[in-house]
Amino acid sequence: MKTKISKRLSLTWVSLLCISCFFLGAMFNSRFRGSDSGSQLMLHRRDQEVNVVTEEYAHEKKKSQEKDVIQEVLKTHKAIESLDKSVSMLQKQLSVRQSHQQIVDVATTNTSTEGSQRKKVFMVIGINTAFSSRQRRDSLRDSWMPQGEKLEKLEKEKGIVVKFMIGHSAVPHSIVDKEIDSEDAQYKDFYRLDHVEGYYNLSAKTKTFFSSAVATWDAEFYVKIDDDVHVNLGMLASTLALHRHKPRVYIGCMKSGPVLTKKTAKYREPEFWKFGEEGNKYFRHATGQIYAISKDLATYISNNQPILHKYANEDVTLGSWFLGLEVEHIDDRNFCCGTPPVCEMRAEVGDVCVASFDWKCSGVCKSVDRMWLVHAVCGEGDQAVWDAHL
- pLDDT tens profile 263-317: 888 888 888 888 888 878 889 999 999 999 999 999 999 999 999 999 989 999 9
CA 306 remoteness from chain centre: 6
Kind and range of the H or E run holding 345: helix 342-348
Range scoring the smallest mean pLDDT among 66-75, 165-174, 339-348 = 66-75
Q: Side chain identity at 176, as an amino acid letter?
A: V
Q: Mean pLDDT of all residues in the chain?
A: 83
291 burial level (CB within 10 Å; 0-12, 13-18, 19+): buried
Domain positions in the chain are 119-253+287-387
What is the average per-residue pLDDT within 235-245?
Answer: 96
Among the residues of 159-232, which ranges form H helices? Answer: 175-187, 202-216
Residue 105 pLDDT more than 90?
no
β 249-255/160-168 pair status: unpaired
Q: What is the DSSP letter of 264?
A: T
Q: What is the mean pLDDT of residues 3-21?
A: 59
- Residues forming beta bridges with residue 230, ordered by sequence position: 356
2-110 helix and 295-304 helix, angle to the nearest 10 degrees: 130
Q: Identify the band that residue 201 occupies on the pLDDT scale cut at 50, 70 and 90.
A: confident
Question: Which pLDDT value is given to residue 162?
Answer: 98
pLDDT tens-digit map of 13-51: 666 666 666 666 656 555 544 444 555 656 566 566 556
Burial class (CB in 10 A: 0-12, 13-18, 19+), 6: exposed
Residue 215 has pLDDT above 70, yes or no: yes
Has domain 119-253+287-387 been given CATH number 3.40.190.10?
no
Whether the model clears a pTM of 0.75, i.e. scores above it, the answer is: no
| Amino acid of residue 138 | D
> What phi, psi does 353 have (nearest 5°)?
-85, 160
Task: Assess contact for 189 and 147: CB atoms under 8 A.
Answer: yes
* 113 pLDDT higher than 50: no
Mean pLDDT of 370-387: 96
